[in-house]
Amino acid sequence: MFAAAGLAYAPPPDVVSNTRRALRLTELARERGHHEAAHDRLMDAYWAEGLDIGDEEVLHRLAVEVGLDVAEVARVLEGDEYLDAVQASTRRAHSAGVTGVPAWLLDGRLLVLGAQPREVFEQAFEQLRGEA
């Protein structure tokens, strides 16, 4: 599906990244107005470049690339800052029925799990329009 969409797909074959640090850094990025850039950079790093986004050095470099302050990044990586926010978000996702990634909660009403073809999303949006 990646190739058909013209996207690179090269996740590290022998690494399943622990993304807790990355998620905490995205919360810092959210507070500093860099959330979208940080999210996109982390996704590209993992899916297209095959980087371990659980590795502290990789995360530090990527966070600084998107404009986060070096000292703030180091502080977050060294502690548990934003852990409560990440855990709360995870609880909300679980309560909505999310059991893995990717997952999309459309209009707060319809959950689509997994990497799905375009047709599944078209059907989901049609269903939502019919319920409106």
pLDDT score of 6: 82
Q: What is the mean pLDDT of the chain?
A: 93
108 and 75 in one domain? no
Task: Respond yes or no on whether the N-terminal peptide bond of residue 13 is cis (omega within 30° of 0).
Answer: no
106 and 75 in one domain? no
Q: For residue 1, is pLDDT > 90? A: no
Q: What is the mean predicted confidence (pLDDT) over 105-112?
A: 93
Identify the residue with better confidence: 3 or 19. 19
pLDDT score of 16: 84
29 and 84 in one domain? yes
pLDDT score of 28: 98
**Structural domain includes residue 44:** yes
pLDDT score of 3: 79
61 and 107 in one domain? no
76 and 37 in one domain? yes
Helices (H) and strands (E) in the chain, counts: 6, 2
Q: For residue 37, is pLDDT > 80? A: yes
Q: What is the mean predicted confidence (pLDDT) over 20-29?
A: 97
Q: For residue 36, is pLDDT > 80? A: yes
- Using alpha carbons, list the distances in angstroms from residue 128 to 6, 98, 117, 124, 131: 29, 19, 17, 6, 5
Structural domain boundaries enclosing 112: 98-131
pLDDT score of 30: 97
pLDDT tens for 43-85 read: 999 988 999 999 999 999 999 999 999 999 999 999 999 999 9
Q: What is the mean predicted confidence (pLDDT) over 93-101?
A: 90
Separation of alpha carbons 14 and 74, rounded Å: 27
68 and 49 in one domain? yes
